[in-house]
Amino acid sequence: MSDEYRESQRARIADSALRVFALKGFQKTSMADIIADSGMSAGAIYAYFPGKADIIAEVAGRVLGTRIASIERLAGRETLPAPSDLIRTILSGLRDELGNPSIVLQVWGEAVNDRQLRPLANEAFGRLLNAFRLYLAAWQQTAHNLQPAAADALAREQAPLLLSACQGYLVQLALLDDFDSDFYLDRVVANLPH
């Protein structure tokens, strides 16, 4: 069995899990639900993932990897977009990829008490925070002609603001029936560093 085949099977399972999580929620989704959606045998699923938490870790890693790749892609441009544009790109990409971003909130809730998910959540937030910091440092250097040390110091202060803006968006999108995501993004954009 090739590495490519193994990866495609893992992706197939993760995609199935994501669909079922979006429909039923994390708590109500069973391994049997994921198996049924994937069309694979139970043995095949368990050969790749020992349990639901392992599948969640895979899905979270993929989603996070995509967001970090977006940040890195924007950071590679000759002219860096403002942090407000970065936030729009991250959040709209997340909404498009997941369809139901409340899944993220469900995973956070599980991570509070789950010994397997909590370190993953910590790692995810740490990686995203670092990606924001690196982006902001580069942006401060190009947009405001700051020296690298000063740009990095300012980026360390501003990166938690970007992370919080993303977290706040996801919480409100998941919980507030009348949440106006465009208004939220417009206000966040207006108040982020430019």
CATH of the domain at 3: 1.10.10.60
Q: Are residues 45 and 59 in the same domain?
A: no
Q: Which residues are within 8 A (CB) of 89 and not within 5 positions of it... i.e. 6 or more apart?
A: 70, 74, 81
Task: Write the secondary structure of 89-143 as one string of H (helix), E (strand) and C (coil).
Answer: HHHHHHHHHHCCCHHHHHHHHHHCCCCCHHHHHHHHHHHHHHHHHHHHHHHHHHH
Residue ranges making up the domain that contains 43: 1-50
Q: Which amino acid is at 25?
A: G
Model confidence pLDDT, tens digit, residues 52-91: 888 988 888 888 888 888 888 888 888 888 888 888 888 8
Residue 189: pLDDT over 80: no
68 in the same domain as 21:
no
Residues 69 and 102 placed together within one structural domain of the fold: yes
- Give the CATH number of the domain where residue 140 resides: 1.10.357
